[in-house]
A and B are shown apart, each in its own frame.
Chain A
């Protein structure tokens, strides 16, 4: 799988599908079993980041500031 992935990596990057850092982090994380604490930390980051974007989207429905 790894060799096939590395072969395709330049195409994925060129297509703007993901950055090298995103792909490395994703594969690294997905290849090992994470603890509940690690999973909860990821979920907490998702919550915080989603809230930031939700607030911005809410502001984009009001007159410009």
Chain B
């Protein structure tokens, strides 16, 4: 509920700025949320997430919340795909202007982060902060898609 209030407020605050700016800043907001979600997931998986990496979770919390090695690797695959397509969407938006066809990468990004959200909800029901950040990334991703004309 509060998330929707925030989005509505931010959206209402930028009614007069150009469409491309809205799309770029929306992508930035989605990027920040998705990175936060990634950091949280890695924080749940590893004892020392800033120095550890790999497909085996070392933290006791991971086992407690059902973040198995298989699930961690599955999420890593999804995150890798989402960040890769987000890069492409950012590059596509550099050349995009209002009236152009919508960049296909924006829709692909929206689909990837929706898949992460679905996975997060299934696998980590107790990790509410993680799920919230992914939801925020999805909401912003949907807003960008709408702005650039994805149907």
Interface residues of A, Cβ cutoff 8 Å to B = 1, 4-5, 8, 11-12, 15-18, 22, 26-27, 29-34, 39-40, 42-47, 49-51, 53-54, 56-65
Given the complex, which residues of B lie within 8 Å of A33, measured CB to CB?
17-18, 21
Chain A CB count within 10 A is highest, among B5, B45, B136, for B5
Q: Are A31 and B17 in contact (CB under 8 A)?
A: yes
Majority DSSP secondary structure for residues of A touching B = helix
Instruction: Tell me whether B126 is interfacial, beta carbon within 8 Å.
Output: no
Interface residues of B, Cβ cutoff 8 Å to A = 2-3, 5-6, 9-10, 12-14, 17-18, 20-22, 24-25, 27-29, 31-32, 34-35, 38, 42, 45, 52-56, 58, 72-73, 76-77, 79-80, 83-84, 86-87, 90-91, 93-94, 129, 132, 136
Q: Are A46 and B86 in contact (CB under 8 A)?
A: yes
A26 to B20, CA, bound (A): 15
* 11 A-B residue pairs with CB within 8 Å: A15-B2, A32-B17, A42-B25, A50-B83, A53-B35, A56-B42, A56-B53, A57-B79, A59-B54, A60-B76, A65-B52
